[in-house]
Structure 1
Amino acid sequence: MSNFKKLAGQTAVYGLSSILGRSINFLMIIVYTEYLTKEAMGSFTSIYALIGFMNIVFTYGMETTFFRYSTGKNLDPKRVYNSTQSLLLTSTVVLGSGLFLLAPWLAEWLEYPGQSYLYRWTALILSYDAILAIPFAKLRLENKALIFAGAKIFNILLNIFFNLLLIIGFPYFITNGVIQDGFLGYRSDWGVEYILLSNLLANGLIIPFVWWKAGFFKFKLEGEIIKPMWVYSIPLLFMGLAGVTNELFSRFLFEYVLPPNFYAGLSSREAGGIFGANFKLAILMNLVIQAFKYAAEPFFFKQSQDKNSPLLYAKVMHAFILFCTLLMIAISVNLEWLGPLFLRQPGYSEGLFIVPTLLMGYLLLGIYFNLSIWFKITDQTKYSFWITLVGAIITIAIIFIFVPIWGYMGGALSTISCYFVMCLLCYLYGQKYYPIPYQTGRGIFYLLISFGISYGGFYLDLNNPFLNFLAKNSLILLFGLIIWMLERDQIKTYLKPKTKTT
């Protein structure tokens, strides 16, 4: 059980950066919905969905490939690092330059006429992210979790500082006559522009520190290393593209698919802003999944040579489901006050009913990440492409079919449907090629029960705020009691201190 506790400890450290840092970032939704228009929120939702999609293109699976070839291919990790970073830097220059030059065309095509600078900044943000990807991965591989966490948190704090300065600080100084409108090129009519600019500045400023702590690389492209890595990574690229299609395209396409005047008094872009803002509430689940992923990916690869690794993978999966289903209920039953707390302007709360569905979608994404270990450690990454391609097709089909009919819920259904199918396919193929003794029946039971409790708690209304709060949160205790009754012996094993041997 020491390995299990090691993973839990690493997840906790990475959670410090992922959950604490992103929670601070998440709190910016309060600022955005308070100070920006719904149209600006719609632009924010759409452009950052595009950034999420293009991030996969710029890194093309090289983080996972770096882990694989640094741990299990009898290669010098330094040579792997040099070649990987050199390859990624070269491709980033090519892709970033191409996107920079295409910015005017993109702005017209995506209905942002005269705002090509948005996509030039996007090209720079993507380039900075890409050249940081492998140094951050190296820190994870070397178990330098505290340095990793510190760099991530500092990056987020910089981002927050620039956001607050540009969105709140400068307007305040202008209103009080401290500075004039136009100071340093400041424009009061900008909104999403300052979110992008803050991101750009924050990412650029941490590059020297991260490169220094990870170890500066020697530019060298070794064909002996790059060729097999390329073969391994290409399926991961397509898996990533299909994956972000599943995760982000509902937000990117929403304003273009939603019929005009579907929601009274809202343009399609404003409705997209409401949809994206409610998506942000569901990202609380994704924070946990991201922290788990940072710790689990290198951990899974290192444990792959152990004959007992399938049993360990199964235990990790079960603990993951228990924790995340409890979290889903805790968020869902408290949306009555969480929603208005984070979504400040009137009108955003009309999309709250999709949040439990989105939470379940993210939970299924986390389960898929657990399941996907089989094709990564058996070098069968070709299956990742086909599985996620099916998910992408389902995502796009549901968006185009159901968003025009059901609006917000149509977008939410695209998320949960595609991840369910991906989990099912990954599980079936995984048990065929690399059997892992998952507690499948119990896992499904917890997923169904928790999803039902989540929506039951969301719609529960006793016409009294205090009684509502007590009744809704008692459902968390009820589910916790169910877990304790069924998992008591296993939980005691997890919590039992490690015995010392002499």
Structure 2
Amino acid sequence: MSNLKKLAGQTAVYGLSSILGRSINFLMIIVYTEYLSKEAMGSFTSIYALIGFLNIVFTYGMETTFFRFTTGKNLDPKKVYNNTQSLLLTSTVVLGSGLFLLAPWLAQWLEYPGQAYLFRWTALILSFDAILAIPFAKLRLENKALIFAGTKIFNIFLNIFFNLLLIVVFPYLISNGTISEGFLGYRSDWGVEYILLSNLLANGLIIPFVWWKAGFFKFQLEGTVIKPMWKYSIPLLFMGLAGVTNELLSRFLFEYVLPPNFYAELTAREAGGVFGANFKLAILMNLVIQAFKYAAEPFFFKQSADKNSPLLYAKVMHVFILFCTLLMIAISVNLEWMGPLFLRKPGYGEGLFIVPTLLMGYLLLGIYFNLSIWFKITDQTKYSFWITLVGAIISIAVIFIFVPILGYMGGALSTILCYFVMCLLCYLYGQKYYPIPYQTAKGIFYLLVSFVISYLGFYLDLGEAVLNFFAKNSLIFLYLVMIFLLEKEHIKSYLPKSKKL
């Protein structure tokens, strides 16, 4: 239990930056839906989906590779750090320059005529993220959680500051005559531009500090170090692409796949904005998964040498499922008031019904992350390629088949179906090559019951708002009671044993 407590403690610290930062970003939905048009929200949804996808390409699994080669390969950690950062810096210059030069073509192809600067800024954002990845990973490996969390939080607040300044404050000052249109080059017709510019400024400003705290590196590219790292990381690139394919590709493709006039009085890009805004509501599940991932990845690798590690991994998975299913229910049954609170303008609430499905999709993503530990610690990352390929095919197929028929729900289904199949394949291969005693039947039971309860609570309508609120939230209590009755023996084992006097 000391190991579980240690993981929980690290998750809490890393979660401080991840959950606080992403929660603040989540709250920016209020600003974006209040001050930006649905078309600008559509652009925001599409471009940031592209950024999320390309971010995986720019880092190509090097964070996980760095953890593996500094903890389980008997190599000098300093040499691994130098080579990893040097390799990533080199590839970033190549990829970033290529994207920068292709910006005019991308703008035309993605229907942003005359806005090539959007994709030049995108190239810089991706480059800054990539050259910060390994220094941040080194801080995690060295258990410098407070420095890591503090820097992440500062970065988030910088981003929010620039967003509020450019989207809220400047327009207000212009409207009351304090400053004039064109002040410092300000343009009132810009929307998504200021979101990108804020991100770019915030990331660029923290680079010197992060490099200083992580330790400056010596440029080294040694074949004996890089070749095995490269071999290990490339399959992880495909695994990462699978994750973002399901999570982001639906948001990127939605406006291009949706038939014209599918939704009355909405263009395809505006409908994409509605879809993306409702997708943001499901980010509350992703907050927990991201915080868990920050702490769990180095923790799992460090525990891999312990003969009891499979049992520990199974316990972590079970607790993860219990917590996340409870969270899914809590969010779903409260969407009636959460939706209007965060999605400010009329029309966004039309997509609320997809949120429970998206929450389940994120939950399956977290389960997949737990399951994938077997091929990471056994150096069998080649399996991630095939699992990824199947997941990507399913995601793309569902988007093209069901979005034209079901609209918003078609995009949400691509999330849940892709991750379900990936979890199934990862579990079956994992039990063959690295058996872990998961409580599979019980876990599936919790997933199915919680999903049904989530939609039951979402659609429950007793007429009066107060009565509705208490009736919906009583479902959370009923689920907790069920967990207690089924898990009471395990709960006792998790509690600290009292010392005899």
Q: Report the TM-score, using the length of structure 1 for normalisation.
A: 0.99
Asked if the contact 1:39/1:269 (under 8 Å) is kept, the reply is yes
Alignment-derived partner of residue 237 in structure 1: 237
Q: CA deviation at 1:330?
A: 0.2
Question: Runs of 4 or more off by more than 6 Å in structure 1?
Answer: none
1:275 paired with 2:275, answer yes
Gap change, CA 1:319 and 1:499, over 3 Å in 2 = farther
Aligned partners of 1:219 and 1:302: how far apart in 2?
Answer: 27
Structure 1: distance between partners of 2:208 and 2:473: 46
Instruction: Point out where structure 2 has 5 or more consecutive residues left out of the alignment.
Output: none
Match in the other structure for 1:339: 339
Whole-angstrom CA distance in 2 between matches of 1:78 and 1:435: 34
In 1, Cα distance between equivalents of 2:302 and 2:497: 23
Q: Distance in 2 between matches of 1:65 and 1:101?
A: 30
2:56 maps to a residue whose letter is I
Shift of 1:222: 1.4
Match of 2:376 in 1: 376
- Which residue number in structure 2 is paired with residue 33 of structure 1? 33
Cα pair 1:83 1:222 within 8 Å, conserved? yes
Output aligned runs, 1:42-53, within 5 Å: 42-53=42-53
CA distance in structure 1 between the partners assigned to 2:498 and 2:36 by the alignment: 52
What secondary structure does 1:27 align onto? helix
Any residues of structure 2 matched to 1:330-479 within 5 Å, and which? Answer: 330-479=330-479
Looking at structure 1, the residues matched to 332 and 497 of structure 2 have their Cα atoms a distance apart, in angstroms, of 34
Query: Structure 1 regions of 5+ residues with no counterpart?
Result: none
- TM-superposition CA deviations, 1:382-417 (whole Å, max 9, x none): 001110110100000000000000000000000000
| 2:85–2:217 Cα contact (<8 Å) kept | yes
> Distance between the aligned counterparts of 1:380 and 1:246, measured in 2?
23
> 1: distance between equivalents of 2:114 and 2:42?
18
TM-score normalised by the chain length of structure 2:
0.99
- Tell which deviates more after alignment, 324-333 or 484-493: 484-493
Equivalent position SS for 1:403: helix
Offset at residue 498 of structure 1 (A): 8.6
Q: Deviations over 1:244-265 (max 9, x none)?
A: 1111100000000000000000
Indicate if the aligned counterparts of 1:121 and 1:196 stay in contact, CA closer than 8 A: yes
CA distance in 1, matches of 2:491, 2:301: 25
- Letter matched to residue 166 of structure 2: L
Equivalent AA in structure 1 for residue 186 of structure 2: Y
How big is each residue's C-alpha offset from its partner over 1:10-60, in whole Å with a ceiling of 9 and x where there is no partner?
001111001111101110000000000000000000000000000011000
Give the Cα separation in 2 of the matches to 1:250 and 1:47.
Answer: 12
What is the CA-CA distance between 1:359 and the residue it aligns to? 0.1
Q: Which amino acid aligns with 2:215?
A: G
Distance in 2 separating the partners of 1:170 and 1:498: 60
Aligned to 2:110: 110
Aligned equivalents of 2:210 and 2:227: distance in 1?
27
Please tell me the residue identity of whatever aligns with 1:452.
Answer: V
Counterpart residue identity of residue 339, structure 1: G
Cα distance in 2 for partners of 1:41, 1:116 equals 18
Q: What is the correspondence of 1:53-202 to structure 2 with a 5 Å cutoff?
A: 53-202=53-202
The Cα RMSD (Å) is 0.9
* Counterpart residue number, 2:311: 311
CA contact (8 A) 2:121 2:200 kept: yes
Matching of residue 10 in structure 1 with residue 10 in structure 2 = yes
- Conserved 8 A contact 1:310-1:436: yes
Q: 3-state DSSP class of the match of 2:158?
A: helix
In 1, the alpha carbon distance for the partners of 2:426 and 2:143 equals 29
Provide Cα deviations, 1:259-297, integer angstroms capped at 9, x if missing partner: 000000000000000000000000110010000000000
Q: In the alignment, residue 115 of structure 2 is paired with which amino acid?
A: Q
* CA deviation profile, 1:51-87 (whole Å, cap 9, x unmatched): 0000011000000000000000000111000000000
- Which one is further off, 490-499 or 449-458? 490-499
The match for 2:20 is 20
Q: CA offset at residue 494 of structure 1?
A: 2.0
Equivalent pair of 1:2/1:498 in contact (CA under 8 Å):
no
1:499 offset after TM fit, Å?
Answer: 6.7
Equivalent AA in structure 1 for residue 89 of structure 2: L
Partner of 1:384: helix, strand, or coil?
Answer: helix
Following superposition, the deviation at residue 497 of structure 1 comes to 5.6
Tell me the secondary structure at the aligned position of residue 282 of structure 2: helix
Deviations, residues 300-337 of structure 1 (Å, cap 9, x unaligned):
00000000000000000000000000000000000000
Matched residues in 2 for 1:69 and 1:122: separation? Answer: 31
**Cα distance in 2 for residues equivalent to 1:93 and 1:37:** 35
Aligned length: 500
